[in-house]
Amino acid sequence: MTLFNLTDLASTLPRNARLIGLDPGSKIIGIALSDVGRRLATPYGAMKRGKLADAAATILDIARKEGAAAIVIGLPLSMDGSFGPAAQAARDWAHAIARETGLPVAMMDERLSSAAVNRALIEADLSRAKRAGRVDAAAASYMLQGALDLLNEPRPPE
């Protein structure tokens, strides 16, 4: 299945359909969910990265339960904005998730999302153990919020 750009993805969605945000790490996949107005992202949870079929089934369960109609997956571009091996792996995984779930998928630049979340959790004075349990879902939320902010920017008239 083809990946959408974010604007095209949003134009295909039914009213009040949520978005699922995924931050795929090498061991853990962070999960976030938008509100029905697609203005606010919140951490939802995390799952161990394992078999693609298991991840797809979990994502579909969340989509059905929460009324989500599409997925935004983090794209780990290099710091200079180039497309490196991590970004290629994420894109391949995004194609596979789109194919397995049948849900439309877009990708969003996620550079520094985990670092920003870790800084915020450190400032909140959370212990390393508590941070470890929250950073993946929070990073997915941070990335999804960036996508929602882009979608909600005022556009000049055409």
Nearest-angstrom CA–CA distance, 81 and 57: 32
C-alpha distance from residue 57 to each of 26, 99, 105 (Å): 19, 12, 15
C-alpha distance across the termini of the chain, in Å: 30
- Per-residue pLDDT reduced to its tens digit, 97-139: 999 999 999 999 876 555 555 555 555 555 555 545 567 888 8
Nearest-angstrom CA–CA distance, 88 and 94: 10
Instruction: Taking residues 130-152, report their average pLDDT.
Output: 81
Q: Is 34 exposed, middle or buried (0-12, 13-18, 19+ CB in 10 A)?
A: buried
* pLDDT at residue 30, rounded to an integer: 92
Q: In what order do the strands lie in the sheet with 105-109?
A: 41-48, 28-34, 18-24, 68-75, 105-109
Domains of the chain by start residue, with CATH? 6-151 (3.30.420.140)
> Which residue from 69, 139, 153, 68 is spatially nearest to 109, judged by alpha carbons?
139
* pLDDT at residue 153, rounded to an integer: 84
Nearest-angstrom CA–CA distance, 84 and 123: 31
Strand, coil or helix: 86 = helix
- Per-residue pLDDT reduced to its tens digit, 5-54: 998 998 999 999 999 999 998 899 999 999 999 999 999 999 999 999 99
